[in-house]
Each structure stands twice: as C-alpha cells, then as structure tokens.
Structure 1
Amino acid sequence: MTNEMDKTDQARRTRGGFSRLLLWGKIKVRPFWRIFKMPSAQRWLLLIVASLAIAAFLSQTLEQAPPLYRLGDMAQKDLRTDRDLLVKDKRATEKNMEDAARKVLPVYDYAPSVLPEIEGIIDSAFSVMRRRSSEKTQKGEVEHILGFELTSREFLVLKTYRFNEKLIKRLEDLTAPLMKQGIVSDKELLLQEEGIVVRNIQTGEEVTRRDLDSLLDYQEAKEAIKKTLEGPQTQNVPIDLRGVMAKIINNLVSPNFTFNREETDRRRTVERTLVKPVFFSIEKGEILLRKGERVTEEGLLKLEALREERRKGGTLVMVIGFFLLTGFFVAAFYLFSTKNIRKVSPTNKDILFLILILISSLGMARISVAIAEGLAGAFPGVPLSSYYYFFPVAAGAMLIRVVLNSEVALVYAIFVSLLTGLLLGEGIFLPIFYLIGSIVGAHSVARCDQRSQLIKGGLLVGLTNFLLVSFQGMSTGRIFEVDILFGLLMGLAGGAVAGIMVVGITPVVESIFGYTTDIKLLELANLDQPLLKEMLMKAPGTYHHSMIVGNLAETGARAITINPLLARVSAYYHDIGKITKPQYFIENQMTGNNRHDKLTPSMSSLILVSHVKDGIELAKEHKVGSKIINSIRQHHGTRLINFFYQKAKEQENTGMQEVDERDFRYLGPKPQTKEAGLVMLADAVEASSRTLDDPTPARIQGLVQKIINDIFIDGQLDECELTLKDLNAAAKSFNIVLNAIHHQRIEYPEAQAEGERQKNGGSSPKSTKEAKGKAGKSKENGRKDIKRLGVSRE
C-alpha cells in the first residue's frame, strides 16, 4: 500500500514539473516572439538590416576576386587596383635569401677521438700478437681487431720484430700529425667554400677555419704517410716493415673532419627566414593588366598580391567586427538625430524608405565604380577620380526632401556623403563634395509643386558641383589640367542626372509608400478630382464649406510659414465623409427639414462622429495620401458636439443614467501637425461665421477670437506645436478672408417692366427711400465697425 502511494506522489510531481515547464514556455517563449510585433522592435530590426547592408557594401570581403590567369595568358579586360598595394618581389627576395644562405659557412664536425681510437686499435692488436698462442689463431684475432686482412708474409714480418713497443710508438707517431692536421673525405667540395665552421663534437666549441688548403683528403694522407716512411726518420726501419706499417696506417686512418649537411642546411634555412621580403609599391587606380596583353610574371605577382590583400579581410572575426562597428555608427547617428532634432521622428515606414534609398545609393556607387574603372581603362588620360563627380548622390537627399522634410534630408545627406566617401576612398574632398551638393539639392526642391522644379534643382546641383570642382582645382593649382576640366563636366552632368532621376522616382515612391508630396497635393487640389466632384453633386453645402475652409487654411498657413498647399488640400477633403449621409448635416439641408429632429441626441452625435470614419475610408479608397488621411482623422480632435450634448442634458430625466460627456465627443486624435490644427480652426471658424446675423468686421473678429480660445482652452492644440504667436497670426488672416466673404452690399431696387409697374401701381417713392435708407444705414454701420477695428477712412 505504501509503495503504491509513493508511486502516485511521484507521478503527481512529474506532472507538476511538466506543467511548470509548459507554463514557463508560455511566459517566456511567447512574449519573445511578440517582441517583433512591437513597433520599436521592428524599428531596431530595420536598423540592424541597414547595418548589415552598409557593412556588406563597405567590407572588402565581398569584393570580386581577381581572375585566375597563368603565365602567358591574354588578359580579357583591364584590371585596376582599388587600393594601394605592396607586391612581394619573389625573384629579388629569393635572390637575397640565396645570398644570405650562401654566406653561411658549412659546418664540419671535428672528432678528436679518432686518433685515440686508432692508437687503441694498434695497442689491442699488438697485445694479442704478444700472447702465446697458435699463429693461425693470433692472425685471425689481429685481423679482426684491425678490420682488414694481413698476408702471411706481413704477419710474419710483424712477428719477426716481436710486436715491440717501439714499433707501436712509430706507428702512432706517423698517425698523430696527420690526424691533427685534419683529414676530410672530399677536399674538392671543401675548396669551393670561403671557410668552414669546425665544431668539436665533444665540447661543442666552434672555430672558423679559412686555411682550407692545409686540410688533407684521404689520398693526400696516404701520400703523406708514404713520404714520411721514405724520409730520413725511418731510414733504420727495414723496408719490409715499412710496407706493413704503411698498410696498417693507411687502413686505420679515416677523416676526422666530417661535413654536417643537416646542421648546415638548418643554419642556412634560419638565415633565409631572417631575410626581409622585397616589395614594390602599386598606387591605387594603377592598371595591373591591360586588356589584350599577355600576362607576365610580374603581372602574376600583382594579381596574387591583390588576391592576398582581399583574402585578409575574409576572417569571420573581422567580418563580425566590421558589422558591429557599422551597427554602432548607425545606432549613434539614429539616436542623436531622433532625440535632438525636433522634426526627425521617422515612422517604421519612413525608416524602411530611408534604408532602401541608402542601399540604392551605395549600390549605385558600387556599380558606378566598376563602370568608371572601365572608362578609365579605355581613356587612360582621364583619372579615375574625375568620374566620381558624376555620381548622383544628391538625388537621395532631394527625394527625401520632397517626400519628408528638410531635417531628415540633412541627416541623410551627412550620412550618405560620409559612407560614399568611405566607399570610394578618395580623401576628404569627395564627402564634402557630395554633402554640399546634397544640401543644395534638398533646398532647391523645398515646396516643390511642379515636376519641372526638380529638373531646375538638378541643374542647380550641377552648377554647385561645377563650382566645387573648380575651387578644388584652384586650391591645388591645377585648374587648367585635363582631369580638373573633365571633372567640371562630370560634376555638371551629375547634377542634371540627379534631377532627372528624382523626377522619375518620385511617382513610384508616392505609389508604393503612400507619401503625399507637394506635387501629389497639387494634383489633389484639382477640382476635377472624382471625389470632389462627387461631393459637389451629393453634398453641395459641404463642398462650398470646404472651399472656404481651404481658403482660410491656406491664408493662415502662409501667415505662420507652414505648407499652404497641404493646408488647403487637407481642408478640401476634411469633410468628404459627409458624402455618405449629406442630409444629416445642416449645410446640405435645402428644404429646411432637419432630420435630427426625429433622432435622439446620442444617435445624432453618432452620425456626426461617423463622418470622420467614413471620410478616412473614402480617402483610403481614392488613395489621397497619408497626410490628408491624418488631417481627416484629426480635424475635429476630441471636441465636444456641444449642441446635441446640451440637448441631451435638457432631455435628461432625474434618477436616470446621467449623460456622459464622453459619448458626445469625437474620437480623435488631436491634431498632430500645424497644418491639421489650422484646418480644425478654419473649419470651426467658417461654420460659426454662418450663424452671424450681421457679420460686421467687429463681430467676425470677436467670433474668430472666441472660437480659437475655446479650442485652445479645450486642449485640442496641445499636440500640434501651434504657438500663441501662430494663433494670433492665423486669427488675423481668418478675419481678412471672412470680411472679404461677408462684406456689405447695397440693396439695389428691383428692375421692373413699365407695364408691370403701372399694373402694380408704379414705383413707390417710399420703397425707393427705404432702400436708400437701408443702404445708408448699412454704410454707416460699416464705417463704425471699421473705426472699432482701429482703421479710419478719410
């Protein structure tokens, strides 16, 4: 029973552990994947991709390897080096190594033990001879010790002289001088050297000997022995004994100086490795191989040097390090720009767009370098750097200025100019050249509402490039040299190409990313747009209201120096949602019947609020652009629908659920840009101005001020950066427009036919006087209103 309970408890613990593991997975794993759904995570992921792309373009590891040629092959194309190279001259280096090895003297091992060994052999042999044993046995033992055979006569001669000590002494005296002088096996090989290093194999001591002629080879040693035996010092030795002595010495003497090839080769190898390689330099841009020429040995050395230089950057650690360096640079640039420059607050879509432009620009630079190298090979008189002035780097900054704003264009210009300069590696002038051209190009297309202005901007960039190259030529004193003159033409043409590129790319960017440029806004401002024509037919009152709001917003935008075209077009489209239910809006109720009379206040407020949502859907359907859609979404902010809220409060029953103000507010958000805030103000002012019975200048001014104050106090302008100065300037511009719309008119008498006047009793003097009185009264009231504003008329 106890065992069963233990097994049950163990099973529960196992299930509990498994359940905790699953729970940990839900807590840890799922949020990890959800991170990539967060906009901030997506933004940093895009920046990582940008870092990888930049590292790929700037890294030398991704360069195309030089072609493989063999000696004598024909070069298929010009090959130009893209960096300074030091090429190892193998022939010169090998010669130096051979010279160094040749200077190493050969090592000969000196064996001082050879002479004692010979003396020991002689002593051992003669000691055997002195023993009393059979002649045959003695002879065999002696021959074994000596290492060679003796004839019976020779052995008999030795035996006759009783193997005495004097004989041994004579043999040793003959051998010792020869061994001390030194005997080598091959003297001819020895004499080829300037000297030798003699190393004592017992003590390890080394001495250098230059007197190589004093050494003997084996043949010379034999002749020396023969000459000594024939000399006066051996005159008392019998001839037959001299022959035996010569045979013993000749057979026992061996070289005591032995050539040590292994040690000699080792020392020579060490000296070879100590020799420094010989290099010759190749400057960046120099042609290594020309098309159609045979590949020489020197050309192969240059190719191998270039291949080795590019191979150096191929290690994984270097690639990772370069990517981290690039990523740190991108992150620092991004954080500084977004935290310190007010208008640099890109969305993820903007970051994606900027990355694509950057990658396209760097890729175009890469391709252009290859083309420039080909042209430089075809026209050797023109330096490669002159072609770099043609690269339309400014096109990216111009496009960003057209699509986004000046601040982002400036940040991009600095970034891309620096990277392109690093890519080309032509010193400090190229980054400055590209930066100034990009800034001028971005400025030239500000408030661009015509595509021809993009071409003009490109020409202005070309002129700037022309001046920069000329200034650079003047600073170096080479203004009239061929490369500077050609650079002037390249810079001028590069600016024009940049403008043409922007003209072609802008519509594509507008279509893909949904950006609303000034050119697009100008197209949307055309009153023949299908959406505006539909509003004119279905909601004419709203159409008229939108046109007036457009004029108000445009005038206000000019007064506070923001984009007037964006403000006007936003106003045109801000109420397009009323097309779906036009009769529920007062400006479209021509018959005087108000449909809201039969609805509850809450239902009426829902209908009014829904026109914002309907407008957004229509705008997306007709692809009017994100800026216009944002203005539609924000033009009411979170304002209160006061009329129906007050009506609901009046109908509120005591004891029932209280009316919640939030149910009668628009959903927002509040205006995020100055243009959207201005549209909100213009919309409210225009609608309220229609309620004035007698729209005099003073009343209009008071109404405008009241509407703006109410909106400001309600906090609707907290997020759009409109200042009090901006509000004051906008109010003044609104007054001017509304006074022009609601100006006083003279009531002209109705023209009637003569017969009709008689039928009706003729014209009434009284009515004429009343008309004049009304006109005079209106004129007098107008003068009073003008005086109230502080303006006098003489």
Structure 2
Amino acid sequence: MSTVFLIVYLFPKSGKFKYNFEKGKPWQSENLYAPFDFAIKKSNEEITQEKERISSNAVLYFNLDSIIYNGVDNLFDSKFPEVFKDTIPKQDYEQLYITGKEIIDELYLFGVLEEEYNFNKDKSVVVLNGRKTIHKTLFSNLVELNEVPSMVSASILEKGLEPYKTSYLSLFFDLVQPNLVFNKSLTDKALQDEINNISYSRGSVKRETLIISKGEIVEGDKFQILQSLKSEYESQLWSEANYNWILIAYTLLVSLALLMLLLFLRKYRIDVFENNTKVTFIFFNIFLIILITTLVVNYNSKYIYVVPICILPLVFKAFFDARLGLFAHVITVLLLGFIVPNSYEYMFLQIIAGIVTILTVSELYKRANLFISVGQITLIYIVAYFAFFVIHEGSIETIEWETFMWFVLCGLATLFVQPLIYAYEKLFGLVSDVSLLELSDTNTKLLKELSNKAPGTFHHSLNVANLAEACANEIGANAMLIRVGALYHDIGKMKNPVYFTENQSTGINAHDELSSKESAKIIIEHVIDGIEIAKKNNLPDRVIDFIRTHHGTSVVYYFYSKEMKLLDKKVNKHDYSYPGPKPFSKETAILMMCDSVEAASKSLKEPTSTKIDAFVENIINKQIEEEQFLNANITFKEIESIKKILKRKLANIYHLRIEYPE
C-alpha cells in the first residue's frame, strides 16, 4: 500500500479531460456541448505575436537635464566673439551669431543623446524632466552627437557662410553637450506593464453551446476552443470534496494496476511472490521510474524521452526473467500515462521499446550485446516518433530534430543499467547473470579449495556443469545459473572428502570401518555442510538452492539396501533419506538428473549405446517415480529432451561409435 500512496502523491491532483483529439483529424466522440461557461484562450502563437507587437511599439523614456541648454547658450555667447573677431564683415558677423542661436535651438528642441542607441527610428519617445513630461515625439527627432557636425554644416551652407565652416565646426565641437539620458528601468517597467495587461483569451463560450459535432474536422477555432476547454477543465480550482474524490479514484486505479502485478507473481512466479525482498525490489523500481519521470515532466516536459524507461525491463530480466520484466514494464507505462503529455503516443513508444528490450537483450553479462540492443531500442524510438509526427502534422517540415537527440541520450542513459545492477545486488542481496559469470570462474577461492581438498569431486562438478548447461540450453532454462549451481553443488564434500568414492585414490574405503547408518549420515550431511560453507562464503541464495535440492528427498540406496540385507528386516527409511527439499525449478531439476547420471556412469562397464540409453532411462524414471520433480515447473516433454542430451553426451564421453552391421 505504501507504493500506491507514494505513486498517487506524484500524480496531478486535478480532473483529466476525458476526450482525445488531434488537430486535422475528425472528432470521434458524440456531439460536444460546453459543460460550463469558459473563455477561449489565445494560442501560444497569438500570444507570442502580441508580445512582439507590444515590444516593437513600446515607448522609450529619456530623462532631460534642463540646465545643459542654458549652459550651452551662455557658453556660445562668450565663445563666439573669441572665434569670430570684429574684423569680419558686420553682416556676416550678425548672420553667424543668429545662425548659431538657431542651431542650438534646433539641437536642443527635443534633446541631444548621451550615446548611440540601436532603436528603430519610428519608436515613440517620452522626454521627462523629473516626473513631468516635456515632449512626446519619435526617436528620429532626437539628436546623436555624431549627427551634430552634419547639422552644423548644413545650416552654414544654407545661409551661404561656407568660408566660416571650419571655425564654426570647431566652436560647436567644444560647445555641444548631451542632455538626454535613457531611462532603462522606466522603459522596461512600462513594457512589462503592457505585457502583463495582455488578455490571454478572446471571447467566450456559453454553457450548453455546441462546440463540435461528431465527424467534424478539428482545426482552426474548433481546435483552439477544444484546447481552451481542456485547459480550463484541468486547471480549474477543485473543492475539498472533489480533491478527495480524485485521490480516491487515483488510489483505486493504481491499486488495481499493482494488484494485477501481484496476481501475476502469485500465479506464475510464486517464489518471487513469497519473497518480501524481491516484491519490495520490484515495487521500488516501479516507483523510482515514476518519480524520475514526474520530476522531468515538472521541470520541462520536452525532456520526457530522455528518461531511460527501458532500464526497468532490463533490470527485471537480469534478476528474474523476461515475462516478469515485460509485465512490470507495461504496468509502469500504463501508470505513467496519467502524468505525461500525449499519453497515447508516449505509452505506444515505451511499450514497443520495452518489447524490443526483452526480445533483443540476452546474456546481459556480454557488453557487446547490451550496446547492440541499446542501438536497436534507440532506432525503434526514432522510427516510432517519426511516424507519429507525420500522422499528426501530415508533413516533416516542422519536425523538431532536437527530439531525436533526446532519444540518443536515452539510449546512452540505458547503459547505466550495468552499474545499477551491481548496486542492486549489494542493496537487495540479489544475483544477476553478471555475478553468476564471476562465480563460474574456476579460479575463485572456494572452487580452488574444492579442487585441492576434493579433486575427484571438483572433476565430477565440472562434468555435471557441462552436462547441465547443455540440457538447459536445449529446453530454454537459465544455462548460466545452472552451470554455477553445478560447480558448487558438492562443496560440502570438502569437509570429509575421503568418504566419497571419487576422492578415494588409495583404494582404501573409509566406510569399511563404519556402520551403514553412520556412513549414510556422513553422505547425507554433505548437503548441510555445503549450505554452511556456501553461506560462510556469501554465495547467493539462488546458488545455495542447488546445494539444498540436488538430492531432493532421495535415499542413499547403497547403504540402505546394505543395512536391509544385514539385519534382514525393515529399516527406518528416514535415516537414509536426504532432508530435501525437492527441486522446485527447471534448473534444480536438471541438476538432480545430471548429477545422478554423471555419478552413476562411473560404474558402467563396457558401455554401449544400448547400455547408456537404458542406464539414463532407469535413473531418471526412478526419480520421476519417487516424485522428485513434483514441485518443479518442468514438463515430460522437457524431461525427454534432457534424456536425449544426456545419452548423446555420455556416448561422446565414452567415445562410442556407430555399430555397423556385420
């Protein structure tokens, strides 16, 4: 239940528009009438255009320094006699003075700018003296300092005073000072006020008004009205009662989805269902994916495809199997449909990608396989997204190629699954194929110790591992797991190696000095000893299961029958039986068959194909009669396939040739 509440907490707490529609496509539902009054919202393009128009028409504010004009005018009166002496004609002297006054008035009519600005010449300008508006004009009427020489020259030429041009320019170069300063803060504030006053709606729709009819194409105003209704429906304020109802509804849906997963585990993966750690691990990963996706959507939904959802089936396949991985992936994607935009498109892409992940990724411990599979997953994302875009837009002209980069990043993020699997192994005590590969190395400390203390048992384990791996490949079982299980299944024999025939190199049998019951006890205890050694060396539970079950509840028949003959009466069979449990998976069942066949094959004298066939049949049929495979999910057909493999492998071991007719 904690997972349900955590997931519901991440879900949006508003209503969800119950109709799906696409621009340019027919309306598939019945005639739609407005359920309440609502405003028609402007599209993003309309809002953007309006903002651009306001920005282009925004008024510029400049502060005027009124003292500058009087200072320049007075300075002109004092400097003019110094530049132009009384020696020049009186008429020219007076004309030059009048022209200078006119130029000053023209320059400071609206003002002289402090610096150059790249504003449009048609922009409106307000000149302020303190808080008082002095002028309202265009930016083109304001004078920039670099324009002063040209204005002075033009006035001189117009008055016919060209001989005095150089002196006049020199005079005004020292004379003119800017008196306008751009008020950026006020300009920006005025612009922002105008943008804030933008109306985000245009018109309204009254309750019970027909919005769209069935079969009508969703385009133009119809599309915008539907978008407005959807937005209004999902963003309206909810009362406490509505809010509680939404929470209850989400809780029911999430509970239903997770219940389906639990039912799947109970029916098809009972060993996982009964293991609280594994169930917690599954739910934790589902919640983690939903949490990461929610955070990305809340930040920016355009990055939604960067989240490596396909890590989920990869992790579950590594620790469990493909069917559980795909089932959990589909459940997770269905839950994400409540959070992500364009939920149908998103779910289609992710489910297809999950299927490809399950089908293509095999033998995760091989790095090349993971890289190839990630490339295939990325390609599927790109192809599916491209197809959806063309269906929606009808062309590729407006396609956002940037999205393809998100898919590539998603593929690269999927490669993070390798270190993630390692971390999960340490946190949850699980075992993956990568760890199994490490354990299958015969140079590990435990297997080296086995080869030193019990070389015959070590050789027997290698033979069993080869037989079991071949059988597992034949019926589609986990070959890596069964190989590791076979290598370690007899490590308990290290405690008393001389009591097992494969380690008796001197010809002396240690059992000759023991009673049948004592001998049977030592033989049986190698299972218990093996479990203790395995736990001491931190072997995974999946490997220890092979040690527990490789003899099931079978009887140490040699000592049992010996005791029966000796006492000539009925003997307690329980004293000569292994404690079990019986094999409970295909892999543990295969190991039991291969272990019994390989051990007993040493007693074959002058083996022939006929003898080997009968020998394998007798051993495995006896195990079936004793119901050793009753708890294992293995079929008679698979058992027959295993028999064929064992017969062929034993024939190869004994180098048997085809018997030609005489």
TM bucket (normalised to shorter chain) is 0.5 to 0.7
Equivalence for 2:604: 692
The reply to whether residue 455 of structure 1 matches residue 371 of structure 2 is yes
Q: 1:520 aligns with which of 409, 417, 435?
A: 435
- Return the alpha-carbon distance in structure 1 between the equivalents of residues 327 and 444 of structure 2: 36
Q: 1:570 aligns with which of 482, 485, 490?
A: 485
The reply to whether residue 324 of structure 1 matches residue 252 of structure 2 is yes
Is this contact kept in 1: 2:47–2:200, CA < 8 A?
Answer: no
Which residues of 2 match residues 557-596 of structure 1 at below 5 A? 557-596=472-511
SS at match of 1:428: helix
Is this contact kept in 2: 1:575–1:615, CA < 8 A?
Answer: yes
The reply to whether residue 50 of structure 1 matches residue 10 of structure 2 is no
1:722 deviation in Å?
A: 2.4
TM-score w.r.t. the length of structure 1 is: 0.55
Give per-residue Cα distances to partners, 1:244-284, cap 9 Å, x unaligned. Answer: xxxxxxxxxxxxxxxxxxxxxxxxxxxxxxxx976353779
The reply to whether residue 281 of structure 1 matches residue 41 of structure 2 is yes
SS at match of 2:41: strand
Q: Which moved more, 1:718-727 or 1:685-694?
A: 718-727
Where structure 2 has 5 or more consecutive residues not aligned to the other structure, the ranges are 19-35, 53-187, 202-230
Mark the CA change 1:618 to 1:445 in structure 2 (over 3 Å): closer, same or farther: farther
Equivalence for 1:79: none
Is this contact kept in 1: 2:493–2:529, CA < 8 A?
Answer: yes
Q: 1:364 aligns with which of 275, 284, 292?
A: 292
Give per-residue Cα distances to partners, 1:139-193, cap 9 Å, x unaligned. Answer: xxxxxxxxxxxxxxxxxxxxxxxxxxxxxxxxxxxxxxxxxxxxxxxxxxxxxxx
Q: Which amino acid aligns with 1:726?
A: E
1:692 deviation in Å?
A: 1.5
SS at match of 1:448: coil
Is this contact kept in 1: 2:257–2:331, CA < 8 A?
Answer: no
TM-score w.r.t. the length of structure 2 is: 0.65
- Return the alpha-carbon distance in structure 1 between the equivalents of residues 614 and 261 of structure 2: 49
The reply to whether residue 399 of structure 1 matches residue 159 of structure 2 is no
The reply to whether residue 611 of structure 1 matches residue 526 of structure 2 is yes
Q: Which amino acid aligns with 1:358?
A: I
Give per-residue Cα distances to partners, 1:617-657, cap 9 Å, x unaligned. Answer: 22223333222111111111111111111122233376xxx
SS at match of 1:322: helix
Is this contact kept in 2: 1:83–1:283, CA < 8 A?
Answer: no
Is this contact kept in 2: 1:55–1:323, CA < 8 A?
Answer: yes
Which residues of 2 match residues 761-776 of structure 1 at below 5 A? none
Mark the CA change 1:599 to 1:341 in structure 2 (over 3 Å): closer, same or farther: closer
Q: 1:413 aligns with which of 315, 322, 329?
A: 329
- Return the alpha-carbon distance in structure 2 between the equivalents of residues 340 and 584 of structure 1: 41
Which residues of 2 match residues 22-37 of structure 1 at below 5 A? none
Q: Which amino acid aligns with 2:556?
A: I
1:512 deviation in Å?
A: 2.2
- Return the alpha-carbon distance in structure 2 between the equivalents of residues 629 and 729 of structure 1: 26
The reply to whether residue 433 of structure 1 matches residue 349 of structure 2 is yes
1:541 deviation in Å?
A: 0.6
1:332 deviation in Å?
A: 4.0
Q: Which moved more, 1:450-459 or 1:665-674?
A: 450-459
- Return the alpha-carbon distance in structure 2 between the equivalents of residues 285 and 633 of structure 1: 69
The reply to whether residue 550 of structure 1 matches residue 465 of structure 2 is yes
Which residues of 2 match residues 611-760 of structure 1 at below 5 A? 611-652=526-567, 658-743=570-655
- Return the alpha-carbon distance in structure 1 between the equivalents of residues 428 and 234 of structure 2: 43
Is this contact kept in 2: 1:451–1:503, CA < 8 A?
Answer: no
- Return the alpha-carbon distance in structure 2 between the equivalents of residues 525 and 51 of structure 1: 40
Mark the CA change 1:408 to 1:346 in structure 2 (over 3 Å): closer, same or farther: farther
1:325 deviation in Å?
A: 3.9
SS at match of 1:562: coil
- Return the alpha-carbon distance in structure 2 between the equivalents of residues 412 and 462 of structure 1: 21
The reply to whether residue 334 of structure 1 matches residue 262 of structure 2 is yes
SS at match of 1:423: coil
Equivalence for 1:213: none
SS at match of 1:309: coil
Q: Which amino acid aligns with 1:353?
A: F
Larger RCO (CA within 8 A; separation ≥ 6): 2
- Return the alpha-carbon distance in structure 1 between the equivalents of residues 346 and 644 of structure 2: 49
1:317 deviation in Å?
A: 5.0
- Return the alpha-carbon distance in structure 2 between the equivalents of residues 567 and 340 of structure 1: 20
Is this contact kept in 2: 1:465–1:491, CA < 8 A?
Answer: yes
The reply to whether residue 60 of structure 1 matches residue 13 of structure 2 is yes
- Return the alpha-carbon distance in structure 2 between the equivalents of residues 669 and 558 of structure 1: 25
SS at match of 1:279: strand
Q: Which amino acid aligns with 1:279?
A: A
Is this contact kept in 1: 2:289–2:309, CA < 8 A?
Answer: yes
Where structure 1 has 5 or more consecutive residues not aligned to the other structure, the ranges are 1-47, 64-81, 85-275, 374-383, 744-781
- Return the alpha-carbon distance in structure 2 between the equivalents of residues 344 and 475 of structure 1: 42
SS at match of 1:446: coil
Mark the CA change 1:313 to 1:450 in structure 2 (over 3 Å): closer, same or farther: farther
- Return the alpha-carbon distance in structure 2 between the equivalents of residues 627 and 532 of structure 1: 17
Mark the CA change 1:283 to 1:685 in structure 2 (over 3 Å): closer, same or farther: farther
Give per-residue Cα distances to partners, 1:272-321, cap 9 Å, x unaligned. Answer: xxxx9763537799999999995875589999999863776884454344
1:389 deviation in Å?
A: 2.3
1:526 deviation in Å?
A: 0.9
- Return the alpha-carbon distance in structure 1 between the equivalents of residues 463 and 304 of structure 2: 52
Q: 2:449 aligns with which of 534, 540, 553?
A: 534
Q: Which amino acid aligns with 2:3?
A: A
1:49 deviation in Å?
A: 1.6
Mark the CA change 1:341 to 1:664 in structure 2 (over 3 Å): closer, same or farther: closer
Which residues of 2 match residues 184-223 of structure 1 at below 5 A? none
- Return the alpha-carbon distance in structure 2 between the equivalents of residues 502 and 547 of structure 1: 31
Aligned length: 477
Give per-residue Cα distances to partners, 1:88-125, cap 9 Å, x unaligned. Answer: xxxxxxxxxxxxxxxxxxxxxxxxxxxxxxxxxxxxxx
1:582 deviation in Å?
A: 1.2
Is this contact kept in 2: 1:542–1:578, CA < 8 A?
Answer: yes
1:614 deviation in Å?
A: 1.7
- In our comparison, the structure showing a higher alpha carbon Rg is 1
Mark the CA change 1:447 to 1:653 in structure 2 (over 3 Å): closer, same or farther: same
Q: Which amino acid aligns with 2:352?
A: I
